[in-house]
Amino acid sequence: MYIILSFVLLYILHLPMSILNYNRSNNPRLSESQEDYLKEIFKLNEVNTTVSLQDLADRLKVKPASVTGMMKKLKQLGLVTYEPYKEVALTDVGEAIALEVLRHHRLLELYLARHLNYSWDEIHEEAERLEHVISEKFEAAIAELMGHPTHDPHGDPIPTIDLEIPDSPNLTAVTAVKENNHAIIRRVMTQDSDILNMLSRLDLTIHSKITVTGKDNAGIRIRVNENQYLLPHSIARFVWVELASNI
Amino acid sequence: MYIILSFVLLYILHLPMSILNYNRSNNPRLSESQEDYLKEIFKLNEVNTTVSLQDLADRLKVKPASVTGMMKKLKQLGLVTYEPYKEVALTDVGEAIALEVLRHHRLLELYLARHLNYSWDEIHEEAERLEHVISEKFEAAIAELMGHPTHDPHGDPIPTIDLEIPDSPNLTAVTAVKENNHAIIRRVMTQDSDILNMLSRLDLTIHSKITVTGKDNAGIRIRVNENQYLLPHSIARFVWVELASNI
DNA sequence: ACCTGAAGTTAGCCTCTCCTAACTTTTAAG
DNA sequence: CTTAAAAGTTAGGAGAGGCTAACTTCAGGT
């Protein structure tokens, strides 16, 4: 009864229905698996133009057959668009849910680092489990406590409460920086704890100031705090920087 | 290989195997359901002499048939003792796991209250979901941050790292306090948020000092901070106090 | 000692998410 | 333009954890 009334009210007020969809608490509660699928589709979509089921299967560590099955279910729920043998994409509602989960994840990563003394190679795994179970109240509480931060400890943007992705500075791959140029590390696009751990042992973390001193086919040579390091391509490819004129 | 070596080492050193069992990280990872069953058996066992499957079914909001099924599984895993048509009890390993989950729960409740401004009627539900997914590191971090507390916001004891239940003061049911006697509230044995919410609106919370001013069959009359209230039996029965000679 | 109702069990079924194996469609290389 | 490899689908099944309905066992009151 109240539900019907709400719809009538919405119609009278000419409000877009979509604002309802974007409020996660109004959506049917999804399983953790389903949230993971949506989140992964979103992340792949940021990198690739098109999302293949194979990629999805690799990232989620399941077999392609399982992905096909889940895509049918998510389509049924109106969260993805998909036809057999075609690529997948999120609907607006699906994307909203993905962003909500991503917001939880990244807020949690920052919270763990700032308030519970986690190092940046430990936060991902813990946030991966917590992101599905925290309430809106928990989300609001930590966001408030941290002053509504815009980026997590890896430099990844944290979706706002309205599920917008905040602007990031214009970034360059560190591998593309010219010799003798200065730069500030702004984003490290991996969650591999060995790599993160190694980077921080070299004093390389978000906001570190570096100078590129040379490049060869082994990797890229940089100076940080008076120290010289060779950053192999296998690691350098994850590091994104903001160019700086001086240092 | 290393595993075999560890066992050999244990044998040489004559260490009891059981110390391994008591370390949860060495136990096979249980499902959230299984953890909930163990926790509930433990809590029922604290109150009743014997744990019936019916009680368990009620507490877990599940049908008795499901409990029978799970008991078989937990027995298989060596976590409970049980024969058809007989009562259930935890084994030492089962109890250790129950205490570990309870420790997570109660530490989380206190953490939410102290650090994220949750009121005591909101903490239980959130902790109920988080308790299963936090790591040992998370547990250690919040325990450390709070100075290894012994009791949660409802006055329930928090099992120590070694899974011992800390001593609590000798408590009396508030309904058993004599007229004109003083007492301090030390434990409120319910998680019902309506009741908790109502109590805190009356300034009744852990460590509140009260005086019993009268009793009749509607309930018990008390004074708190110059205010007089009637506490109905339906609520008073959850409140446990420490007797105080003066106030 | 018996009977009845409560407590507990069993069998069979459901949904969820994953799997394998065999198949079909798409794509890209020659 | 053909064709083989890659990508995706289908069918059938596993196991976890619920359920209902029908059954068995137990325990208390007369």
The pLDDT value recorded for residue A244 is 84
A148 with A226, same domain? no
Q: What is the CATH number of the domain that holds B14?
A: 1.10.10.10
B151 with B183, same domain? no
A182 with A149, same domain? no
Last residue of a domain, one of A167, A189, A218: A167
> Which of the given ranges, A57-71, A164-178, A230-244, has the highest pLDDT on average?
A57-71
* Local confidence band at B28 (pLDDT 50, 70, 90 cut-offs): low
Q: What is the distance in angstroms between the Cα of B204 and the nearest Cα belonging to chain A?
A: 24
What is the chain B residue with the closest CA to A116? B141
- Interatomic CA–C1' length for residue A72 and nucleotide D13, angstroms: 19
A198 with A88, same domain? no
Q: pLDDT digit string (tens) for B124-167? A: 999 999 999 999 999 999 999 999 999 999 999 999 999 999 98
Which chain B residues touch A142 with a CB distance below 8 Å?
116
The pLDDT value recorded for residue B217 is 84
Average pLDDT, chain B: 87
Q: In this complex, which of A115, A126, A137 lies closest to B135 when CB atoms are compared?
A: A126
A82 with A26, same domain? yes
Interface touch B118/A129, C-beta < 8 Å:
no
A110 with A160, same domain? yes
A129 part of a folded domain: yes
Q: pLDDT digit string (tens) for B223-247? A: 998 888 899 988 999 999 999 876 4
The pLDDT value recorded for residue A94 is 96
Q: In this complex, which of A116, A134, A145 lies closest to B138 when CB atoms are compared?
A: A116
Q: How many CA atoms lie within 13 A of A154 on its CB side?
A: 23
Of A184, A193, A179, which is closest to residue A243 (Cα–Cα)? A184
B152 with B82, same domain? yes
Q: pLDDT digit string (tens) for B71-117? A: 999 999 999 999 999 999 999 999 999 999 999 999 999 999 999 99
- pLDDT greater than 60 at residue B9: no
Cα dist from A182 to A154, A203, A207, B53, whole Å: 20, 16, 12, 69
Higher pLDDT, B28 or A52: A52
Helix axes A92-115, A136-145, angle to 10 degrees: 50
B205 part of a folded domain: yes
B149 with B186, same domain? no
Q: pLDDT digit string (tens) for A142-194? A: 999 999 999 999 999 999 999 999 988 789 999 989 989 999 999 999 999 99
Which chain A residues touch B127 with a CB distance below 8 Å?
none
Q: pLDDT digit string (tens) for B153-203? A: 999 999 999 999 998 878 999 998 998 899 999 999 999 999 999 998 898
Contact A45, A81 (CB under 8 A): no
Q: pLDDT digit string (tens) for A73-126? A: 999 999 999 999 999 999 999 999 999 999 999 999 999 999 999 998 999 999
- pLDDT greater than 70 at residue A25: no
Last residue of a domain, one of B167, B202, B225: B167
B128 with B177, same domain? no
Residue-range definition of the domain harbouring residue A202: 172-246
The pLDDT value recorded for residue B22 is 42
